[in-house]
């Protein structure tokens, strides 16, 4: 059976974007809400509360194989106008990982009513290399839930949080069967 690493993308020691909501606080909260909805928790690992990115990567690699999965939860920020949800995968990921990422993104957009910005390889965005995707041995995905500096995105997130959690949990529960 595969393991799942469910990661809060920013820690209490490294806040990430702080505008209308605090990215670190929300990534931890959302991760914990999703975890609470998982049917099997014996092979699910939570990281990110206080650890550095390097520590998280090392923990994942110490307990995982290339058959396992990592979902790192983030929130985006840009200029207050940009909106929507997107997900990143390792450029060499397999078709199953890309399919799971597509499902997570579709569910996120449908739950929140956000614009689907797409499934991207890690070298597409502002960062040409994302450690959680490149340095872990797992099938890794990085979800950008919505933009913390866009009022509509944040309102949709707050209003539809339960739907978001349920939708992602359904996909992860199928993955962990």
Q: Write the pLDDT tens digit of every residue in 81-129.
A: 999 999 999 988 899 999 999 999 999 999 999 999 999 998 776 666 7
pLDDT at 123: 77
Radius of gyration (Cα) for the chain, nearest Å?
15
Highest mean pLDDT among 45-49, 67-71, 90-94: 67-71
Domain hosting 54: range is 4-175
Count of structural domains within the chain: 1
Question: Exposed e or buried b for every residue in 161-172, given b needs 16+ CB within 10 A?
Answer: bebbbebbbebb
Q: Which CATH number does the domain housing residue 111 bear?
A: 3.40.630.40
Structure letter (DSSP) for residue 53: H
Separation of CA 80 from chain center: 21
pLDDT at 174: 95
């Amino acid at each position: 059976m595969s393991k799942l690493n469910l990661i809060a993308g920013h820690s209490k020691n490294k806040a990430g974007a702080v505008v209308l909501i605090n990215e670190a606080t929300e990534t931890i909260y959302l991760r914990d809400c999703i975890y609470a909805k998982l049917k099997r928790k014996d092979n699910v690992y939570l990281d990110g509360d206080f650890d550095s990115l390097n520590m998280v990567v090392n923990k994942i690699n110490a307990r995982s194989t290339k058959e396992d999965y990592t979902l790192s939860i983030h929130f985006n920020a840009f200029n207050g106008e940009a909106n929507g949800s997107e997900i990143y995968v390792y450029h060499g990921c397999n078709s199953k990982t890309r399919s799971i990422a597509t499902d997570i993104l579709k569910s996120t957009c449908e739950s929140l009513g956000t614009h689907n910005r797409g499934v991207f390889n890690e070298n597409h965005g502002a960062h040409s290399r994302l450690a959680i995707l490149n340095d872990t041995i797992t099938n890794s995905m990085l979800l950008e839930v919505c933009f913390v500096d866009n009022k509509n995105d944040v309102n949709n997130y707050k209003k539809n949080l339960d739907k978001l959690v349920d939708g992602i949990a359904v996909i992860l529960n199928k993955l962990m069967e």
